[in-house]
Amino acid sequence: MRSKLLNDAGERTFALVYETGDEVIAGLTDFASQHRPRSAHFTAIGAFQDVVLAYFDWPTKKYQPLPLKEQVEVLTLAGDIAWGED
């Protein structure tokens, strides 16, 4: 994964570029650990190949995995980063 600082006036804005085979969560976690934002929001588009998505099943209170072993397009990926005590 490569990163580039796009804006440093007020709120910092970065672009992260992943290569084929890069692990998205691991790369995002490493980036956040290195830059230590107080809080952050991210959005993404792109594609995944061989990915496990999950949805929250309210009756069981557990995430249910949904493995996809083919290339799929990511139309929207959004989330937040916040630091806790752990």
What is the DSSP pairing of strand 39-57 with strand 62-82? antiparallel
Structure tokens at 2: 């490569």
Q: Report d(CA 10, CA 56) in Å as an integer.
A: 36
In sequence order, what are the residues at sequence separation of 6 or more whose Cβ sits closer than 8 angstroms to the Cβ of residue 62? 56
All structural domains of the chain, each given as residue ranges with its CATH number in brackets, are 2-82 (3.30.1330.80)
User: For the segment 52-79, what is each residue's pLDDT rounded down to a tens digit?
Assistant: 999 999 999 999 999 999 999 999 999 9
Residue 84 pLDDT level (bands cut at 50, 70, 90): confident
- Tell me: the pLDDT tens digits for 8-36? 998 899 999 999 889 999 999 999 999 98
Judged by phi (left if over 0) then psi (alpha if -120 to 50, else beta), residue 21 lies in left
Task: Count Cβ atoms below 10 Å from residue 86 Cβ, excluding itself.
Answer: 3
